């Protein structure tokens, strides 16, 4: 069908008018600004708020950069982090931030002005975590299964709010994974020749430098430090010595002897993937005493020793000439209690309260020794023990072997970086609940953990790889 010239002209006019309307609508939505030789288009349609964690999958001693964008400028927001422990308990933290003129914020450079922490703390959401209201009392966050990560849900909330009182509107969210065990690390439970422990081997053929890893009288078999050592290239044997079902005798009694610790060291020396002359020993609390004690046993020649907030001897009476002791509650004469009834073990490990026959022969140490002190340690007399080590080694002409790290306001449990601090937690629950006061204040304790871990790895690198 043909149109007349008039109808064709009318059609073209309508098309031109419609096109002008469309261009006008587009122009209303966007404006053009000249910026020093470049063009920038600004849309009045704002993208949805975005929260990122980079990288989203890391080892626990690595930082994650958390930032928010596409928000109104100079706007109040709250960032909240939550995770479930392996036992199912909810832990959380939160912090208040204000966006900048571009509508963004970055935990690496911006300051929290309230919440679980304040100031510029890139990893504050992680180290400031505490049990959520309503959770069990006396909790301490410790990884039970190192073959799975902590899954941390991080949410961005509207305004400065407390997630415990007013959850606020969730604007965005991201999930981060925090691992103790990197891909390729091998985990092997060891139950042989009377030994009870877990061996972690890094990826590759080896031979690797190694650490014999011992914790305190809380007992059991915490694996997370050893698995992290292996993730950093060191084989590590986490050794149980008290409070484990596979050990002999009552759980509250140390029933293993010197031969047990010598066998553990020998086990590492004999392993085909471990360098026999590059083995160190690390211990925290009573494990510090055992590390020093084992390192001076005949036939044991460690390449380095690391002690964290522990004594140089034991106040417990020895049943034989070894480390076998009577019940762990025998030294209650040295206990004290605060106003809340929390027990303070600090006096138990004062050098003057140690059995003279049970003090490590520190002058016999022949390898580099690093001793880490939390100056607010309420569970061990760490400062006094460090002083004794330093004095003894100086008198023996071995000052060059000693490295002392000391941290004001840090408590007893100096653990891998970004671990939440527990100032107090349950020591025992049965037959009677007993809360132990560890000491420490969150921000300086977190700084101590980060610095001590970095320097400890450098010390191991120098002692075990060169």
pLDDT at 207: 97
Per-residue tokens: 267: 């086990």
Specify whether the CB–CB gap between 160 and 83 falls below 8 A: no
pLDDT at 329: 52
Q: Report residue 265's pLDDT band, with 50, 70 and 90 as the boundaries.
A: very high
The fold adopted by the segment(s) 186-464 is Rossmann fold (3.40.50)
Q: Poorest-confidence range of 23-27, 59-63, 222-226, 342-346?
A: 23-27
Nearest-angstrom CA–CA distance, 53 and 328 = 45
Q: Report residue 168's pLDDT band, with 50, 70 and 90 as the boundaries.
A: confident
Can 50-179 and 186-464 be said to share one CATH topology?
no
In this predicted structure, the answer to whether residue 5 has a pLDDT above a threshold of 60 is: no
pLDDT at 136: 93
Q: How many residues does the chain have?
A: 466
pLDDT at 25: 41
Give the residue, 167 or 236, on which the prediction is more confident. 236
Give the residue, 328 or 123, on which the prediction is more confident. 123
In this predicted structure, the answer to whether residue 27 has a pLDDT above a threshold of 50 is: no
Catalytic residues: 285, 377, 412
In this predicted structure, the answer to whether residue 52 has a pLDDT above a threshold of 90 is: yes
In this predicted structure, the answer to whether residue 215 has a pLDDT above a threshold of 60 is: yes
- Residue % of the chain over a pLDDT of 70: 86
Nearest-angstrom CA–CA distance, 287 and 326 = 17
Mean pLDDT of 196-208: 96
Q: What is the CATH number of domain 50-179?
A: 2.60.40.2240
Q: Return the SS3 of 459.
A: helix
Query: Parallel, antiparallel, or unpaired: how do β-strands 90-98 and 50-54 relate?
Result: unpaired
What residue ranges do the domains of the chain occupy? 5-43, 50-179, 186-464
């Amino acid at each position: 069908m043909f149109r007349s010239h008039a109808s064709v002209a009318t059609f073209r006019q309508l098309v031109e008018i419609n096109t002008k309307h469309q261009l006008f609508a587009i122009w209303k939505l966007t404006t053009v600004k000249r910026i020093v030789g470049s063009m920038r288009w600004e849309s009045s349609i704002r993208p949805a708020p975005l929260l990122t964690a980079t990288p989203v999958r890391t080892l626990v001693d690595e930082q994650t950069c958390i930032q928010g964008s596409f928000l109104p400028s100079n706007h109040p927001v709250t960032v909240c982090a939550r995770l479930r422990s392996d036992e199912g308990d909810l832990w959380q933290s939160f912090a208040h931030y204000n966006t900048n003129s571009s509508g963004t914020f970055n935990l690496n450079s911006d300051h929290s002005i309230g919440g679980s922490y304040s100031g510029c703390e890139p990893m504050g959401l992680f180290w400031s975590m505490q049990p959520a209201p309503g959770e069990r009392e006396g909790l301490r966050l410790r990884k039970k299964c190192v073959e799975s990560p902590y899954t941390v849900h991080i949410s961005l909330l509207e305004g400065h709010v407390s997630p415990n009182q007013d959850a606020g509107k969730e604007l965005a969210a991201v999930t981060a994974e925090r691992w103790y065990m990197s891909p390729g690390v091998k985990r092997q439970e060891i139950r042989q020749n009377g030994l009870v422990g877990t061996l972690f081997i890094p990826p590759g053929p080896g031979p690797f430098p190694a650490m014999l890893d011992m914790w305190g009288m809380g007992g059991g078999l915490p694996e997370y430090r050893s698995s992290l050592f292996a993730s950093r290239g060191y084989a590590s044997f986490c050794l149980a010595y008290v409070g484990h079902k596979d050990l002999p005798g009552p759980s509250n009694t140390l029933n293993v002897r010197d031969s047990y610790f010598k066998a553990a060291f020998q086990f590492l020396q004999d392993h085909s993937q471990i360098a026999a002359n590059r083995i160190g020993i690390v211990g925290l609390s009573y494990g510090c005493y055992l590390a020093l004690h084992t390192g001076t046993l005949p036939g044991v020649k460690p390449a380095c020793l690391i002690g964290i907030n522990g004594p140089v001897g034991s106040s417990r009476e020895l049943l034989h000439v070894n480390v076998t002791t009577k019940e762990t509650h025998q030294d209650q004469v040295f206990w004290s209690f605060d106003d809340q009834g929390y027990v303070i073990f600090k006096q138990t490990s004062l050098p003057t309260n140690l059995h003279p026959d049970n003090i490590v022969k520190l002058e016999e140490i022949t390898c580099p020794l690093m001793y880490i002190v939390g100056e607010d340690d309420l569970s061990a007399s760490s400062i006094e023990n460090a002083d004794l080590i330093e004095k003894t080694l100086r008198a023996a002409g071995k000052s060059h072997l000693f490295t002392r790290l000391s941290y004001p306001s840090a408590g007893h449990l100096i653990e891998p970086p970004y671990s939440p601090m527990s100032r107090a937690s349950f020591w025992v629950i049965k037959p009677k609940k007993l809360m132990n006061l560890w000491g420490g204040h969150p921000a300086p304790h977190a700084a101590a953990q980060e610095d001590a871990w970095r320097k400890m790895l450098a010390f191991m690198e120098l002692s075990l790889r060169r």
